[in-house]
Structure 1
Amino acid sequence: MSIPTTTSEYYLPKIGSYDNLTLRTKNVEKPRTNDVLVKVHAVSLQFRDLLIASGNYPVASPPDLVPVSDMAGEVVAVGQDVKGWKVGDRVSANFATDHIHGDPTPAIKRTDLGGLTNGVLTEYRTFPAHSLVAIPSHLSYEEASTLPCAALTAYNSLLGPIPVKAGDYVLVLGTGGISIFALQLAAASGANVIVTSSSDEKLKIASKLGAKHVINYNKTPNWDEEIQKITNGVGVDHVIEVGGPGTLPKSINTARVGGHIHIVGIVSKDTSGANLVLNTILKTVTLRGIYVGSLTQFKDMNRLLSANPETTRPYIDKVFPFEEARQAYSYLASQRHVGKVVIKVSKD
């Protein structure tokens, strides 16, 4: 396989809007001793990518940032000391390239792709060999590109320190990328999954993917009370909390005593949140901030996906060509999607 000399990539010459995404050509960085050069076939977008482009992310990015954290691609060259990877291998890079196992540290977080380091919205990129994971053989590049952040965050939430058990009740807020993966992983684990959304059409999809109960929160504004009825007043074991301050009070109300609330997003436009601390203490719930996951967890998750290939197949709403990256960002921002929005980088 010939190694190209140049790559096309998007970067943000100015923070403030994804409309500032600009295409440029630069020289391909040759792999160093312990690096691997990867041809990027597909990337997927996160809500985080919108926050970074708009300047609303809490951590400042370096100048001329190449955005996006999640990719799947093909190894085209390896450094001379690299073991375990060969040309032609299908791989994804972990969200934080140095997060191998255990909890993240400040140093590890400085290796986050598309935030504090240049990301993957490019045709070719070198990665440290230790940051790569083989993608499940049954998935396409587009499907596999959805795994590093959305899928792994859901996996870390539900199968991390307090793993979901068959028969547990799991509440999933919304039908975005993390939420859909959480639904699929919880259903594959034998849990009873409850999904909320403002759209009946999206809830129909959630039901097809394994949700036992669905609630339209526009039609049922007191959805926390409805969930208490569903669980016979006991409450749910796990909550995938994507809304943030606007939904957290009701999420706490839905949890059983000793339940687990996994805070993974801030997509709610409602900023109310009174009495959170007191209610958390009274319910003795665990509020666990989820910062994606480790390489070890990534490998464990891929084993689960391979063991349940159809029930956990990534749900992709729409795939955009590389030339329409801005349109892909716009579609994600519209929140019309269910599951993941993907950009196909390679034409072959």
Structure 2
Amino acid sequence: MRAYRIESFGAVEGIERREVPLPEPGPTGLLVRMRAASLNRRDVMILQGRYPLKAPAGVVPLSDGAGEVVALGSAVTRFAVGDRVCGSYFPNWRDGRITPALADQPGATLDGMLAEYVVLDEQGTVAVPAALDWAEAAALPCAGLTAWHALTGGEALRPGQTVLTLGTGSVALFAVQFAKLAGCRVISTTSSAAKADRLGALGADAVVDYRRHPEWSVQVRELTGGLGADLVVETGGPQTVEQSVRAAALYGQVALLTTGDAQGRGIAVSNEAYASSLATLRRVFVGSRAQFEAMNAAVAAHGMRPVIDRTFGFDEVHEAYRYFESGAAFGKVVVRIG
């Protein structure tokens, strides 16, 4: 079978296609014929050697993928041949709190999804919502679950509350969709008029141009009658966290996804901003299998469909990476596999 491996780090040319033996599932393993895989920011960071978990040379990249079960280990009880499945971002994290012992990730410390066939353990695997196509299903494990955890992992949101999302990355787009499912008002930021229109079509009730308004927290407070956002899905890290705290309601939540940037800067909030608020900063890092299953139930119940920007063929992996790195996408970038 064909699989891609990161043979050298630093540039997309280091990702090379190889002919490798078909893997065999162990007693609790599923042999999955992969149909699609999607890219996330962490995949670029891994390739560039900037991700906290160091990937070994030769690892199969990408954490996110979906496919069809074609063979089972002798002890499998949760799935059957023909089931449509996704692997979990943290395949060993079933529920509860994560610990360092559960932190292995496909595409980093474990082989990932950019192969014609992969083996997944049944305990780290979830069923795909029936209405989704392969590209949409492949969008869920990282960006979708991160957004779901950001909205549901802290104090419960109530209909009518305000959620603030930053930019048009995949996590932010999922957060817009999930917030609307929860009956919330959504304010989003972007610097693009065209993307502002697309955010509105996706469900955002108001959009703030952060280039026109560098201190965009002022606009967020104006749009909320001075109260601020009940939840900020903070995807920007060092460049945006100050404004996010200033935009948060008195007892708001800031779901913090990114703590550093490519220049090595960490997050910092001024005393003036934090002293004026009782907002909670809550670190979020994807989620457990139980959260993944809860998210998929909501996706299925509401008929929600992930936003797909562009798909590439299995022979176009380098092009897919380059397009993703350009920042032009509005939605997920997907590689079709089979």
TM-score tier after normalising by the smaller chain length: over 0.9
Equivalent residue for 1:285, pick from 266, 275, 279: 279
2:23 maps to which residue?
29
Change (3 A) 1:328 1:147: same
1:281-319 deviation per Cα after TM superposition (whole angstroms, max 9, x unaligned) = 54122111111011111111111111110xx21000000
Q: Could you tell me how far 1:268 is from its partner in structure 2?
A: 6.7
Segments of structure 1 that go 5 or more residues without pairing to the other structure are: 1-6
1:115-172 deviation per Cα after TM superposition (whole angstroms, max 9, x unaligned) = 1111111110001111111100000011000011111100011012323221111000
Instruction: Tell whether 2:306 aligns with 1:314.
Output: yes
2:99 maps to which residue?
105
Change (3 A) 1:114 1:323: same
Equivalent residue for 2:4, pick from 6, 10, 13: 10
Counterparts of 1:94 and 1:287, CA distance in 2 = 25
Counterparts of 1:133 and 1:75, CA distance in 2 = 11
Equivalent residue for 2:293, pick from 274, 295, 299: 299
Change (3 A) 1:343 1:267: farther
Residue 237 of structure 2 aligns to a residue in which SS? coil
Residue 245 of structure 1 aligns to a residue in which SS? helix
1:63 maps to which residue?
57
Residue 283 of structure 1 aligns to a residue in which SS? coil
Counterparts of 1:274 and 1:156, CA distance in 2 = 23
Counterparts of 2:141 and 2:224, CA distance in 1 = 32
The sequence identity of aligned pairs, in percent, is 36
Equivalent residue for 1:220, pick from 202, 209, 213: 213
Counterparts of 1:11 and 1:285, CA distance in 2 = 43
Kept in 1: contact 2:163–2:232 (CA 8 A)? yes
Kept in 1: contact 2:259–2:267 (CA 8 A)? no
Counterparts of 1:126 and 1:40, CA distance in 2 = 10
Counterparts of 2:170 and 2:282, CA distance in 1 = 19
Equivalent residue for 1:327, pick from 319, 323, 326: 319
Q: Could you tell me how far 1:263 is from its partner in structure 2?
A: 1.3
TM-score, with normalisation over the residues of structure 2? 0.96
Kept in 1: contact 2:260–2:266 (CA 8 A)? no
Correspondence 1:176-325 to 2 at 5 A: 176-265=169-258, 275-276=269-270, 279-309=273-303, 312-325=304-317
Change (3 A) 1:293 1:18: same
Counterparts of 1:82 and 1:275, CA distance in 2 = 49
Equivalent residue for 1:141, pick from 130, 134, 137: 134
Change (3 A) 1:223 1:188: same
1:94 maps to which residue?
88
Q: Paired residues, what number?
A: 337
Q: In structure 2, give the amino acid aligned to 1:292.
A: V
Q: In structure 2, give the amino acid aligned to 1:330.
A: R
Kept in 2: contact 1:262–1:288 (CA 8 A)? yes
1:14-49 deviation per Cα after TM superposition (whole angstroms, max 9, x unaligned) = 111223110001101111111110001001100000
1:338 maps to which residue?
330
Segments of structure 2 that go 5 or more residues without pairing to the other structure are: none
Change (3 A) 1:232 1:269: farther
Counterparts of 1:80 and 1:231, CA distance in 2 = 57
Counterparts of 1:206 and 1:151, CA distance in 2 = 16
> C-alpha root-mean-square deviation of aligned residues, in Å?
1.6
Residue 98 of structure 2 aligns to a residue in which SS? coil
Counterparts of 1:137 and 1:126, CA distance in 2 = 21
Counterparts of 2:267 and 2:25, CA distance in 1 = 49
